[in-house]
Amino acid sequence: MKSPGLPLLCICLIISLVACAAPGAVGGGSLVEQAPAQTPLVVFATPGVTHPGTAIATPKAPSPTESLEAPGCSSEEGRFEHGSLPSALLPEPMEFSVYLPTCYDQDRERRYPVLYLVHGQGFDHDQWDRLGVDENADRLIAAGEIPPFLVVLPRDRSWAQPNEDLFGQALMEELVPHIDTAYRTHPERFYRAIGGLSRGAAWAVHLGLSQWQEFGAIGAHSLPVFFRDAPKIRKWLEAIPVESLPRIYLDIGERDRPETLESARWFENLLTEEGVPHEWHMFSGYHEESYWQAHVEQYLRWYAGEW
């Protein structure tokens, strides 16, 4: 990979998130610091970006002890379980929901991949449920278009940066081990993915890169990079062996907040500079729930694509 080439000052000027939202946007609160964009926004879509001379590094699948194909059972719907985990790191317990796919209760020997999805700022862990993650998963699993897997929705109560908000540390040190103990998961990184929308996307990038040994895929939907992470991301990428690079998916609405667009573009450009394979989409839409809801099916197909 290339050596660092973008001064910290440039990073700080490029990326930020302010409290105000574009028309039709939801949520708020500052995540990053941003100078006004100095060039017009260019609308484009580049599905499946890869780069010549770069190895396509998909995490290798361990040999599972059983098939990931869905067994037959009478149920066509999954269900949610809701929990609260005492935390030594957070001032309050970690609340979370777990989507269990159809047939989870009937097939007691089967183990499942796990997708962690983090909500946006100003919301809680029911946001992805409202957006229809379970209904879409039920339909795609029933049709045999994706394999069954668990979806974990943790609650982040803070608006602070990662050095002040210990949510990420609690997720890794407390919630992930709990899920792997309490549920029949495949605990290998190949079968564990993390994603999020808005602030949740910032968490997905933060944890997926800094804790790369734990995740095989990262999804960042309408990404504003944490400004505390900006100086670290290139080093995180360079520390990951090429053969262990996670799969990465980025998408954003063409009418998202200007500062969020610039932040997402900066990250995508950095991936390109470093020769990191990734998928990049710019769709029609704003920074709002109707945008994410319209793409939930596409997200699930991508996360489950290697499972």
Q: Quick one: the chain helix, strand, coil %, rounded to 5?
A: 30, 15, 50
Please give the C-alpha separations between residue 238 and each of 106, 184, 194, in angstroms, as whole numbers. 44, 33, 20
User: Would you list the domain boundaries of the chain?
Assistant: 8-43+76-255+272-306
Concatenate the DSSP letters of all residues of 26-54 into one string: ------B--PPP-S------BTT---TT-
Pick among 3.10.450.350, 3.30.9.10, 3.40.50.1820, 3.90.1150.10: CATH of 8-43+76-255+272-306: 3.40.50.1820
Q: CA distances (Å), 26 to each of 37, 96, 127, 286, 301, in order?
A: 21, 22, 12, 9, 25
Residue 107's pLDDT is 83
Supply the pLDDT for residue 108: 86
Closest by CA to 176, choosing from 71, 289, 85, is 85
- Residue ranges for the chain with pLDDT beneath 70: 1-75
H runs (alpha helix) in the chain: 8-14, 127-130, 133-142, 167-170, 176-182, 199-210, 233-239, 258-273, 289-303
Buried b (16+ CB within 10 A) or exposed e, 51-65: eeeeeebbbeeeeee
pLDDT at site 19: 35
- Convert the pLDDT of each residue in 221-236 to its tens digit: 999 999 999 999 999 9
> What does the radius of gyration of the chain's CA atoms come to, in whole angstroms?
19
pLDDT digits (tens, 9 = 90+) for 96-147: 999 999 989 888 889 999 999 999 998 889 999 999 999 999 999 999 999 9
What are the distances in angstroms from CA 172 to CA 13, 74, 122, 177, 259? 31, 35, 22, 8, 29
